[in-house]
Amino acid sequence: MTLQQEILNTFSKEKTHKIVFSPRLYYWYFGNKIYSKQKKNYSKAIPPHYYGKTQFDIYRELGSSPRYSEETLYLPLYYEVIDPLSNIKVQREPGTKKGETITTHKTPHGKLKQVESIGSGLGGHRTEYPIKTLSDIKTLRYILKNTTVSFSRKNFELADKQFGDTCVTSTYLSKSPYQKLVTEFMGFTRTILSLKRYPSQMENFMTFLEDWDDQMYNQISNSPLQIVNFGENIDSNLSPPHYFEKYLIPYYEKRVNQLHRAGKYCHIHIDGSLRDLLPYFEQLPFDGLEALTPKPQGDVSMEEIKEAIGKKILLDGIPSILFLPEYSENYLIEYTQNVLELFSPNLILGVSDELSPNGDIRKIEKISEIVKNFNL
């Protein structure tokens, strides 16, 4: 069967003939400037046969499967647009520090400012969040009320055609209301303090955010997507059991049920500390769990993860730290075999959660060979 059919059979719990290997190469690819046509830009650690190739070329060479069109083909499958008649002005400018970007939203109801710091041209984190006071919530409400979400059927068709049968064209959705507050709007400390000091105002705003999400989920429900990821990036330190039970599980049940009714499979990205959340995993409504990271990088063993998730699908499973020079190839091989034996056939093998720029791509090649020779 094709990689695409193997993935679909894995999610539908039908017979599979081989495990699909789906390493996410985005950060490694851009961190090492693989796209460059100039040899002087390449590290000596990069095998020459990767020079100048596209991400998709590399996936095909490895016999592995890409996962998200945003990362591999730079084709987002949905987008947000602010109504040009809403009198909202967005200004972006460089900050005083290298790699810093200041974004300001000016509206009839006030101004919001956030600052992002980008490391080595990859990823980024907020060093200043837009909501600093309760009055800022009113401003953000106005912005969101005038922002629409649309699924891009054009981009989906372009991605699906390019991917062919190498994968199931997929995307990751924006975060749940609680996760948005913690990671995008307020930061962890301000979110927790505000929930304790102003519970009714905060929970009212979270209800507004949930209602605003309806347009995204309605668009995705009516799209041709077959598999959808909840891009939550859960860590038990930021979403401890009390908040996980109160604000996240009910939201997940509502949204996954909606997507299941539309015939979609769903999985969630959980890539931080796990131990305190292990008791919840098997009962979560998701078909699969992505990026669960075991020791020596995470805080739980592979065996503990296996016991916690039951028959749910594990996406990934090999800690990204094992691709660093500190860990031998023999250790990685033994670790990979253990993951394969523990989780197959409910497994899409990959790196938890991505190959870092200083990861060794030759170890990825080795795993590709192991997967080809692994018998279910």
- Give residue 319's pLDDT: 98
Spatial CA neighbour of 229 closest among 174, 153, 303, 306? 174
Backbone angles phi and psi of 232, in degrees to 5:
-80, -30
Distance in angstroms (rounded) separating the CA atoms of residues 271 and 265: 20
pLDDT of residue 120: 52
* Lookup result for tokens 């959705």: 173
The pLDDT value given to residue 149: 97
Whose tokens are 């938890």? That residue is: 352
Helical pair 199-212 and 214-221, crossing angle rounded to 10 deg: 30
How confident is the prediction along the chain (376 residues), in pLDDT tens digits per residue?
999 999 999 999 999 999 999 999 999 999 999 999 998 899 999 999 999 999 999 999 999 999 999 999 999 999 999 999 999 999 999 999 888 999 999 999 999 999 999 865 467 889 999 999 999 999 999 999 999 999 999 999 999 999 999 999 999 999 999 999 999 999 999 999 999 999 999 999 999 999 999 999 999 999 999 999 999 999 999 999 999 999 999 999 999 999 999 999 999 999 999 999 999 999 999 999 999 999 999 999 999 999 999 999 999 999 999 999 999 999 999 999 999 999 999 999 999 989 999 999 999 999 999 999 999 8
Q: How do 147-151 and 78-82 pair as beta strands?
A: antiparallel
What b/e string do you get for 157-188 counting C-beta neighbours within 10 Å, with b at 16 or more?
eebbebbeebbbbbbbbebbbbbbbbbebbbe
> What is the pTM assigned to this prediction?
0.96
Residue 7: name the closest of 232, 167, 194, 236 by CA.
167
Listing DSSP states for 196-253 in one string gives HHSHHHHHHHHHHHHHHTHHHHHHHHTSS-SEEEEEEEE-TTTS-HHHIIIIIHHHHH
Delineate the domains of the chain, giving CATH numbers in brackets: 3-81+146-176+213-372 (3.20.20.210)
User: What whole-number distance in Å separates Cα of residue 255 and Cα of residue 186?
Assistant: 23
Of the candidates 292, 306, 299, 301, the residue with the CA atom closest to the CA atom of residue 352 = 292
Name the β-bridge partners of 117: 100, 125
Locate all alpha helices (DSSP H) within 2-146, ordered by sequence: 3-12, 26-31, 55-62, 69-72, 134-145
The residues, any chain, with a CB within 8 Å of residue 6's CB and separated by 6 or more, are 16, 17, 18, 19, 20
CA dihedral 132, 134, 136, 137 (to 10 degrees): 120
- Residue 122: the pLDDT is 63
Contacts of 233 (CB under 8 A, 6+ apart): 175, 179, 183, 269, 270, 271, 272
